[in-house]
């Protein structure tokens, strides 16, 4: 075992121990009842989330720019870009269809007694309004609808002022300006080389900093996850919501352990199960932070060091994937929306279920790689179905119904983030064949 893989194995072990200790401590704190001190989350924020987040924009910009410029050849770039986007969209479509099929098959929202349903919906509107900022973001998403969702994606792809957007933390703006600059530098030949070398050496430096941060991560993870678990009350979950959770988590597991490894194999990425095992420290990080963006520095590091992915493919596919490729979120959006319509007793037709699948993919692409982002973009899916069922004279589903699943969302968020990040790694591995590193 090389020194670097020994280091990675040790980091994984520390993360795992920290995660288990945090779940046990969090659960114990929860069982003591009373107010959970804000100390845990604040300590975790400063030791885990912020150190990772502060590197996201520099890592995205530098890695995509260097990745694109180092590939150089337009034909290879075209295959890499197109192949990556097609594989991303296809895997999200599969995930959303799987989610829809499972929730329709098990139907945990069908046949719920009117009393239970009314109690759930009343509690839902209280939970929905408990976070005023989130509720406002959802109302905004509802008023702009599906058209607004497309425009939002488009405005991030073609930013007016990419520097301003990057300062505000938009990874999409960082990706697209890095692609343009990388193409420009590659096309400039010798005259573009000094800037490229500067970026490459900056990227080396940033990756070194990431290496240091990875060592303090287990401590931060312990604090952060303890705070999260202590705040989750799982004992009072209503039965239909438990059914929803089982379908969502089961679907995510099916996609992660069966579909994606097969996907990896079928498209030439080799043994997907082995890759899954080799990248385990990425998944521990994604599970703990519920954020594809915050996990990004670890994903890049691990894909190159442990996943056998080329730097070129990783530097392009992983940042793009953290922003646009969310298999877990696509599956979850479809499951939640169909579950809520089942709960209020609306029978959707096959065409309407297809709308759910397609808009779930759109909502997943539009979701940022941060905690709870999928919860907000789900409004797009509900609005699309509401507009369709209006034609049949059926009452629209109020968006406050999302409150039904808000109480358990953190756990599902942790799990879907793992699947989101895993999907990016699979495509980076597949694309390694298209863009291998120079030997
Ligand atoms: N938390 C997810 C992620 O960062 C996004 C979501 O809320 O679905 O990948």
Sorted by where each begins, the domain ranges of the chain are 3-431
Check whether 111 has a pLDDT greater than 90: no
**Rounded distance from Cα 194 to ligand 1 centre (Å):** 37
Residues 6+ apart with CB under 8 A from 45: 224
**Rounded distance from Cα 296 to ligand 1 centre (Å):** 12
CA dist 30 to 6, 82, 142, 276, 435, Å?
36, 48, 35, 32, 49
What is the rounded CA–CA span in Å between residue 431 and residue 310? Answer: 8
Which of 299, 362, 371 should be mutated for ligand 1, with most atoms under 8 A from CB?
371
What is the rounded CA–CA span in Å between residue 226 and residue 40? Answer: 7
**Rounded distance from Cα 175 to ligand 1 centre (Å):** 18
- Phi-psi label, residue 278: left if phi above 0, alpha if psi -120 to 50, beta otherwise: alpha
Q: Whose CA is nearest to atom 1 of ligand 1?
A: 371
**Rounded distance from Cα 111 to ligand 1 centre (Å):** 31
Q: Based on the number of CB atoms within 10 Å of its own CB, is 72 exposed (0-12), middle (13-18) or buried (19 or more)?
A: middle
Q: Do residues 275 and 424 make contact, with C-beta atoms less than 8 angstroms apart?
A: no
Q: How confident is the model at residue 339 (pLDDT cuts 50, 70, 90)?
A: very high
Nearest-atom number in ligand 1 for the CA of 413 is 1
Q: Do residues 326 and 89 make contact, with C-beta atoms less than 8 angstroms apart?
A: no
Let me know the angle formed at the C-alpha of 246 by 243 and 249, rounded to the nearest 5 degrees: 145
pLDDT digits (tens, 9 = 90+) for 72-86: 788 888 999 999 999
What is the rounded CA–CA span in Å between residue 333 and residue 168? Answer: 26
Which of 52, 134, 329 should be mutated for ligand 1, with most atoms under 8 A from CB?
329
Q: Whose CA is nearest to atom 6 of ligand 1?
A: 374
User: Which residue would you say has higher pLDDT here, 140 or 214?
Assistant: 214
Q: Do residues 259 and 98 make contact, with C-beta atoms less than 8 angstroms apart?
A: yes
Which of 293, 332, 416, 425 should be mutated for ligand 1, with most atoms under 8 A from CB?
416
Q: Which CATH number fits domain 3-431: 1.10.3860.10, 2.40.10.10, 3.40.190.10, 3.90.1150.10?
A: 1.10.3860.10
For residue 376, which of 338, 323, 322, 413 has the smallest C-alpha distance? 413
Q: Enter the pTM of the model.
A: 0.89
pLDDT digits (tens, 9 = 90+) for 279-338: 999 999 999 999 999 999 999 999 999 999 999 999 999 999 998 999 999 999 999 999
Radius of gyration of the chain (CA): 22
């Amino acid at each position: 075992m090389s020194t670097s893989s020994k280091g990675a194995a040790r980091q994984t072990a520390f993360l795992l121990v920290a995660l288990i200790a945090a779940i046990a401590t969090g659960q114990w704190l929860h069982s003591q009842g009373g107010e959970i001190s804000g100390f845990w989350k604040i300590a975790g924020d400063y030791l885990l989330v912020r150190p990772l987040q502060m590197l996201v924009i520099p890592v995205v910009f530098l890695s995509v720019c260097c990745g694109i410029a180092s590939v150089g050849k337009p034909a290879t770039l075209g295959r890499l870009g197109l192949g990556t986007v097609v594989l991303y969209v296809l895997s999200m479509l599969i995930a959303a269809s799987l989610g829809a099929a499972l929730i329709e098959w098990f139907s945990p929202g069908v046949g719920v007694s009117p009393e239970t349903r009314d109690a759930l919906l009343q509690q839902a509107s209280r939970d929905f309004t408990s976070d005023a900022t989130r509720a406002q973001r959802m109302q905004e998403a509802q008023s702009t609808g599906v058209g607004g969702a497309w425009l939002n994606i488009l405005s991030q792809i073609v930013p007016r002022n990419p520097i301003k957007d990057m300062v505000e933390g938009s990874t999409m703006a960082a990706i697209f300006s890095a692609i343009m600059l990388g193409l420009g530098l590659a096309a400039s030949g010798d005259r573009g080389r000094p800037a490229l070398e500067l970026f490459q050496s900056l990227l080396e430096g940033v990756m070194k900093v990431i290496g240091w941060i990875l060592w303090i991560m287990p401590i931060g993870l312990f604090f952060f996850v303890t705070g999260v678990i202590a705040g989750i009350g799982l004992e009072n979950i209503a039965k239909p919501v438990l059914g929803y959770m089982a379908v969502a988590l089961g679907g995510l597991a099916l996609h992660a352990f069966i579909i994606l490894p097969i996907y990896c194999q079928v498209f030439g990425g080799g043994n997907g199960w082995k890759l899954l095992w080799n990248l385990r420290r990425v998944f521990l990080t994604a599970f703990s932070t519920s954020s594809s963006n915050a996990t990004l520095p670890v994903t890049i590091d691990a894909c190159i060091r442990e996943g056998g992915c080329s730097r070129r493919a990783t530097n392009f596919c992983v940042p793009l994937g953290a922003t646009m490729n969310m298999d877990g979120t696509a599956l979850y959006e479809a499951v939640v929306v169909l579950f809520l319509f089942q709960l209020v007793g609306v029978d959707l037709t096959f065409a309407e279920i297809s709308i759910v699948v397609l808009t779930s993919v759109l909502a997943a692409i539009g979701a940022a790689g941060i905690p709870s982002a999928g919860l907000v973009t789900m409004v797009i899916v509900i609005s699309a179905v509401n507009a369709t069922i209006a034609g049949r004279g059926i009452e629209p589903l109020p968006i406050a119904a999302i409150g039904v699943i808000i109480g358990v969302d953190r756990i599902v968020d942790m799990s879907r983030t793992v699947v989101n990040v895993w999907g990016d790694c699979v495509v980076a591995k597949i694309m390694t064949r298209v863009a291998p590193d120079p030997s």
